[in-house]
Chains A and B, each alone.
Chain A
Amino acid sequence: MEATAKYNRGNPAVKRILQEVKEMQSNPSPDFMAMPLEEDIFEWQFAILGPRDSEFEGGIYHGRIQLPSDYPFKPPSFMLLTPSGRFEIQKKICLSISNYHPEHWQPSWSVRTALVALIAFMPTPGGGALGSLDFKKEDRRALAIKSRETPPKFGSAERQKVIDEIHEQMLSRAPPVPQLLTNETNEETNQLPASDASDEHAHKAVGGVNTAGSNSDSVNNDLPRPDSESEIVQHIVEGRTEGVSNHSRANLSRENIPRVAPTPQNPVVAIQKPKHDRLLTLAAFGLTLAIMALVIKKFFKINGLAGYIEGKF
């Protein structure tokens, strides 16, 4: 496989993936880490930190990414290996960034943007999507604590080596699961169930402000941070892609209707006047009106065909 990979360096997909590897190494993020296998550059192992101020905080979640041979025109597939209560393990997950929805994928996205999106998707409800789960918050916290203790066991020895290496580095960076926050959250849950939702909204607003602040204040000093934070902002937009697509489709169907509507209006108008007059005198002429309508329709069709034929000449 190494020989094949080297031989295929002319392949644009390989070139693109190598560029992403370099970019990942030169701009490491505190929230995730990813690297390809040595023997197969199209398969990556990754680990993400649970998003802050959520029941996943402090957790280290491992997974595998499989890039298609015609990347970046087709989306990769994602598989989680650490139990999280949000995604099933060892099963490809369904997101707008994964290969379940190739029509939503954009070549301007990359592994980095996909991982940022994955972190952002964790607190969202699974909604019955393929590979999604909806555990209780307490169970998810327990899984987050457990996820730090040992990395998952998966695949060949080389894969396990990469997984262990990633796990060690993530442990050295990651803050512990917030115990005090756990207690506070339990109290809040007992007293006011709605307060969690309001906290999440407040956090999102604060997050937005922080992004704007950091961009304006420290653009020159902290280069890596604006990148990752702007990507997070992008994914808030990207999360709505499916909604936008639905709107687009609805509008497409609406556009078809107006094109058809003008045509029958003309015969209808022509019919209504004689219909009104004759109805007052002789109801039996209804059949004649129907025949006239058919003749008018055929007349329009003939005109249309003539237009097309002469247009081509």
Chain B
Amino acid sequence: YDALRRTRGDGNCFYRSFMFSYLEHILETQDKAEVERILKKIEQCKKTLADLGYIEFTFEDFFSIFIDQLESVLQGHESSIGAEELLERTRDQMVSDYVVMFFRFVTSGEIQRRAEFFEPFISGLTNSTVVQFCKASVEPMGEESDHVHIIALSDALGVPIRVMYLDRSSCDAGNISVNHHDFSPEANSSDGAAAAEKPYITLLYRPGHYDILYPK
């Protein structure tokens, strides 16, 4: 790996890392098809939350601010921004927190939509129901993320994520390799192309924290 980008360790680091890594990817690739695909996914998530009984005005602000960021990294119109400005934007407390909350809503909606799939993991983790888990561990700001959150966000948006783990599990083997796990929406994706794609978001996990990694 070439480089590491640190994120603030306040419990929202997974979402912040994902946000910056994804927006930077769009900025570099200018992949308009990907932007259109994810906008459709976002509309689906919005419908899911409405079906689950959330009042729309409580979450539509979060969605619209992320969509603004997404459209502004595409070049060719007045509100386009470069890499420097993207960094400034994501450092803005307000923008950053709104996008983090957007991801939290997307994650919560996905977990509740597929409650039968996630329930065994949640029961083993916290001994509570799916709805209680979402209200206690997903939606509040500052709650740390685990496998369940990563699977749900990856599936909901159709974005593959690779996580490199620097924890004690890699020491037991006695070799110098580092464990990693690819969270791919393969199993549930309706788009065959997205499933086959190599993960373009890579995060480094050390116990209690996520940072962004840049492959060689």
Contacts and interface: CB of A to CB of B under 8 A. Distances in A.
B39 interface: no
Interface string A225-268: 00100100010011011001101100100000001001100000
A211 interface: no
Nearest to A74: B141
A286 B57 CA distance: 70
Given A15-B61, A259-B168, A311-B170, A244 B141 contact: no
A56 interface: no
B174 A106 contact: no
A304 B171 contact: yes
Contact of A105 (B131, B140, B172, B176): B140
Given A70-B97, A259-B167, A259-B168, 17 more contacts: A12-B61, A12-B65, A20-B57, A72-B58, A106-B139, A108-B59, A108-B139, A110-B58, A230-B53, A241-B132, A244-B126, A244-B132, A248-B126, A300-B171, A303-B174, A307-B170, A307-B178
A113 B98 CA distance: 21
A16 interface: yes
A241 B54 CA distance: 17
Contacts of B167: 259
A251 B170 CA distance: 23
Q: Which 9 A-B pairs have the closest CB atoms?
A: A244-B136, A310-B176, A19-B57, A311-B178, A106-B139, A108-B58, A304-B171, A244-B132, A307-B171
B55 A23 contact: yes
Contacts of B171: 300, 303-304, 307
Contacts of A262: 172
Interface residues of B, number: 37
Contact of B166 (A16, A248, A300, A308): A308
Contact of A244 (B61, B65, B135): B135
Nearest to A308: B166
Interface string B27-65: 000000000000000000000000001110111011001
Contacts of B178: 307, 311
Interface residues of A, number: 40
A16 B136 contact: no
Nearest to B100: A73
B136 A241 contact: yes
Nearest to B128: A244
Residue with the highest number of chain A CB atoms closer than 10 Å, among B98, B141, B167, B174:
B141
Contacts of A128: none
Contact of B135 (A106, A230, A300): A106
A104 interface: yes
Interface of A: 12, 15-16, 19-20, 23, 70, 72-73, 103-110, 227, 230, 234, 237-238, 240-241, 244-245, 247-248, 251, 259, 262-263, 300, 303-304, 306-308, 310-311
Contacts of B62: 107
A72 B39 CA distance: 24
Nearest to A240: B132
B188 interface: no
A239 to B, nearest CB: 11
B139 A107 contact: yes
Contact of B58 (A107, A306, A308): A107
A20 B172 CA distance: 54
Contacts of B141: 73, 107
B61 to A, nearest CB: 6
B75 interface: no
A311 B176 contact: yes
A231 B140 CA distance: 18
